[in-house]
Amino acid sequence: MNFRKLQTLVRVKRHLGYYNVIALIYSKFRSFFQKSRDNSLPAHWKERATHAQAFIRTFIGSNESKLDEIDREYEIYSKEFALRIKRERITFFDPIYDLGSETRYLVFTLIRVVKPSRVLETGIAAGASSNTFLTALSLNGFGILESVDITPRVGELVDVKHSGHWKKTILKASFRKAAFIRLVKSMTQCKIFVHDSNHSPSWQIFEFETVYKYSPSTEFFIFDDITNKLLEHVERFYPELKVTILDENRKYAAIFSKPNSLVS
């Protein structure tokens, strides 16, 4: 076990107790064996992988001048946020837990183009992605980010100026699935869903099925650290969805988009 992982376990114990240390170790071992056994992405998916900017410009089809403007906004934001994101963190959520940079840029741009009234994300961690999405909503001048996690000790990187656009929900350990279903059912006009929570195949499929079934307005389903099981599931049961793979260097993300989600 390397020093960084040991530091993470110490932080988990300090903030969340021994039970969550055991749960974290179990989940890591389970994830490792699942991936090594049957969950690594096949070559044909990796070969199709693209980057967020290419997806935006070829799939979304918005005008170039508008996208250039959004790119400048994102560059300004990234430079301002870079100093904060490099600070030593209080919680155990090291940068490795942050959403990939390609996916953060993608969602920021989608929010600015689609202008949703609701965005749902699962997995807040330190809040790097949450702050990015909230910045895009603030630039729009409206919209709520519904963020879900399993511990209240999250979001230290989120700027308090975005509090008016942010709603945080903490799922309790018992009846977690039922609580998530209730939350999704209560939401209206959610256009974008971002998964960055439990990356096990079964939980990814559960989140996808829940949002697809109970949030019919959702047009973009974005999954960080995509599993092959979810890709196979979507290919088999939802052939109408367009599948795009994003290359995040050390991992892959996926976007499942509905046919009517094209933006002009």
Q: How far apart are CA 245 and CA 253, in angstroms?
A: 6
SS3 112: helix
pLDDT on residue 37: 41
pLDDT on residue 97: 83
Q: What's this model's pTM, rounded to 2 decimal places? A: 0.86
Burial of 179 (0-12, 13-18, 19+ CB in 10 A): middle
- Every domain of the chain and the residues it spans: 1-39, 41-261
Checking DSSP bridges between strand 242-247 and strand 252-257, what pairing results, if any? antiparallel
pLDDT on residue 121: 98
The sign of the torsion formed by the CA atoms of 212, 127, 249, 39 equals negative
Q: Are 230 and 259 in contact (CB under 8 A)?
A: no
Assigned CATH topology for domain 41-261: Rossmann fold (3.40.50)
pLDDT on residue 255: 97
Integer Rg of the chain from CA: 18
pLDDT on residue 38: 44
| 264 residues of the chain, pLDDT tens digit each | 455 556 655 665 565 556 554 655 545 555 444 444 445 788 989 998 999 998 988 766 657 888 899 999 999 999 999 887 877 787 768 788 899 999 999 999 999 999 999 999 999 999 999 999 999 999 999 999 999 999 998 999 999 999 999 999 999 888 999 999 999 999 989 999 999 999 999 999 999 999 999 999 999 999 999 999 999 999 999 999 999 999 998 899 999 999 877 654
Residues 6+ apart with CB under 8 A from 18: none
pLDDT on residue 95: 83
- Helical segments of 118-227, H only: 128-140, 176-186, 201-214
